[in-house]
A and B are shown apart, each in its own frame.
Chain A
Amino acid sequence: MGLAAAFWIMAVVAVVAALGVIFLRNVFRAALSLVLCFITVAGLYITLSADFLAAVQILVYVGAISVLIILAIMMTREVQQGSPSNKMKLPAFIVAVVLLGIMIYTVTANSWQIAAESPLTPTTVPLAAKLFSESGFILPVEIAAMLILAAILGAIVIAREK
């Protein structure tokens, strides 16, 4: 019962915050609304008993990515106030609604094979075993590390003053 209440609160707040990202006129407030949406997503991870991912969500998204976005907003301050839309408003709305309808129909019409076991709860140790073990995902972890390094170097090179 408590889980259901938590889910509904998180879901409503997440959707309202996501709508705020789109409809708020002030870019900075839209970024803060995005941060709120990230936090509620972390709460949803907790209701799914993914505790490690919730912590990573707070650290990476709420901590790092939102700071980057707000910094970029502040460095491009003089551009224009507000977040105007382009001329594709109606076609984009139709595309989004049609895609939403298709996805909701597919999700609800499908009969998922729900497993009987309850999920693992603390997930940190099993995730580490999964990521770093011999038969696990050690090669993708190394590739991800290379990707992050290349992205950081690329970002520095692109954003550097000439």
Chain B
Amino acid sequence: MTIGLEHYLVLSAVLFCIGLYGALTKRNAVIILMCIELMLNSVNISLVAFSSYIVPLLLTGQVFAIFVMVVAAAEVAVGLAIILAIYRGLTDIDANNINLMKW
């Protein structure tokens, strides 16, 4: 069986849903960030697959994937800084117990 665009898109969907499940259910804030990284990676897979199967000479999907990586790097830096700041104040990173701003 030859590998087509659908294979990559289905794989990307599977990884995205695994990351979504983890981001919704986990209580450790670091694990939530890891699951968000997983989701961003799956989106990158589908962007690159579209780029190389539909517009193979334009590379626009790969350019988008690079910008997604930039934003992911910025997000993880700020997110982990926030987690460390919360840990310093509360000595806890359980998302259930971080409810200072909950209305």
Chain A residues packing against B (C-beta within 8 Å): 3-4, 7, 11, 14-15, 18-19, 21-22, 27, 30-31, 34, 37-38, 41, 44-45, 47-50, 52-53, 56-57, 60-61, 64-65, 68-69, 71-73, 75-76, 78-80, 83-86, 88-89, 92-93, 95-97, 99-100, 103-104, 107-108, 112-115, 117-120, 123, 126-127, 130-131, 137, 140, 144, 147-148, 150-152, 154-156, 158-159, 161
Contacts and interface: CB of A to CB of B under 8 A. Distances in A.
Contacts of A112: 5-6, 53-54
Contacts of B45: 41, 44-45
A158 B63 contact: no
B20 A96 contact: yes
Nearest to B89: A162
Contacts of A34: 34, 37-38
Q: What 8 pairs between A and B have smallest CB-CB spacing?
A: A151-B74, A92-B24, A119-B56, A155-B81, A159-B81, A103-B13, A96-B21, A100-B17
Q: Which secondary structure dominates where chain B touches chain A? A: helix
B71 A3 contact: no
